[in-house]
A = this chain, B = another copy of it.
Amino acid sequence: MVTLKDIAQAAGVSAMTVSRVVNKVPSRVSEDTRRRILCLVDEMGYVPNSSARSLSSNSSHLIAIITGSLGNPLKYPYNALMTGGMTHYMQQKSYSALFYQATDYRAVTRQLRSWRVDGAVFLGLFDSDMRKLREDNSIPLVFTDSYSTIRQLNNVGIDDYKGGELAARHLLQNGHREIAFIGGNAEESPVVRNRLRGFRRALGQENVLLTDSSILSDDVDLNAIRRVLEKPIPPTAFFATADITALKLVKALHSLGIRVPRDCSVIGFDNLEQVEFSMPPLTTIAQDIDRKAELAADLVIRMIEDKTAPVQNIVLDVELVERESVRNLKA
């Protein structure tokens, strides 16, 4: 492998001069030698050794993307879109992305340190560990969808509360007053909790109540669904906290002989590309995942490059996308 020294020798200068040229250090090298060196670099196929660079300059140009550790995290379209989007953006800014899966903060800390990563973005929740992560690591950390009470935490999220409200209002406007909720565990996930809160609030404004017996888990259990539908006054609509869940629900309802939206309406959350191609196309609360990914990547990089950059809590807007899975009962 060609090293700095090889280029230096070939050009008849010191290694430092070559280093300066390669790193575009302004005005320390004459235009003449600069061109000569660049020519040799290209000719001999020199590529800087990032490890060596990282070791001596104390900056790796590496950013970790950290997800929870259960199975294949990119199985979920949301994670895949975020990860791919961030990687793409980082590469444009000449950073490389390193993927890690981890559950506990000690493992994360070990991983971050081993490559002396410049910064990290977290997908998913390390709620109880956030404080420790901040304490143990002096590098910029960016969380996503976190509702931590710890101040001074970089975060990129969306307005989940409003998302819940929008879903509720849309259902109400279409004449639904008996409504069920299906989603992740609100106690465990602050994201779900906020969507649920907003949802309840907007329902409450029209005196519609969401009872606990109308709240289903996102594992989409056929029996549970049947039980809800057999209530004295069965729900005419479901709000699912994720499109994936909504799609599974539509399928489950169908297998019970219930048509969406004719017999029952469904509204989802996320606006994944695939819900446009489902049958029926899903009405859903849209978040801009591409933009979220870019903002998260941009935020870590800004924090890395400018140590005085202020901590940010970015909250993106959400909006209703109307398709064909909600029936208008008033019509």
A positions within 8 Å CB-CB of B: 1, 45, 47-52, 54-55, 60, 71-75, 77, 79-81, 83-85, 87-88, 91, 96-101, 109-110, 113-116, 247-248, 250-251, 254, 273-274, 276-281, 290, 293
Which residue on chain B has the smallest CB distance to residue A1? Answer: B113
Assess the B248–A114 pair: CB atoms within 8 A: no
Nearest-Cβ distance from residue A90 to partner chain B, whole angstroms: 9
Q: Which of B50, B72, B254 contacts A84 (CB 8 A)?
A: B72
Q: How far is the CA of A275 from the CA of B49 in the complex (A)?
A: 45
CB distance from A325 to the nearest CB of B (A): 11
Closest to A2 in B: B113
Q: Given the complex of chains A and B, what is the CA–CA distance between A271 and B191 in angstroms?
A: 31
Q: How far is the CA of A50 from the CA of B248 in the complex (A)?
A: 43
Given contacts A51-B115, A251-B277, A274-B274, 15 further A-B contacts (CB under 8 A): A47-B109, A49-B114, A50-B51, A51-B54, A72-B290, A72-B293, A74-B80, A75-B81, A91-B99, A96-B99, A97-B99, A99-B99, A248-B277, A251-B281, A254-B279
A101 in contact with B91 given A276-B251, A278-B277 (CB within 8 Å): yes
Contact A74–B74 (Cβ < 8 Å) = yes
Contact A114 B55 (CB under 8 A): no
**Residue in B51, B74, B77, B254 whose beta carbon sits within 8 Å of that of A60 in the complex:** B51
Contact residues in B for A85 (Cβ distance below 8 Å)? 72, 74
**B77→A47 contact, CB < 8 A:** no
A51 touches B91 (CB 8 A): no
User: Within 8 Å CB of A278, what residues of B?
Assistant: 247, 277-279
Asked, given contacts A77-B80, A80-B80, A274-B274, whether A48 binds B250 with beta carbons under 8 Å apart, the answer is no
Q: Can you give 14 contacting A-B residue pairs, CB < 8 Å? A: A1-B113, A45-B109, A47-B109, A47-B114, A50-B51, A72-B81, A73-B84, A74-B74, A80-B84, A96-B99, A96-B100, A97-B98, A248-B277, A277-B278
Contacts of A109 in B (CB 8 A): 45, 47
Interface pair B110/A100, CB less than 8 Å apart: no
In the complex, how many angstroms separate the beta carbon of A96 from the nearest chain B beta carbon? 6
Complex Cα spacing A1 to B117, Å: 13
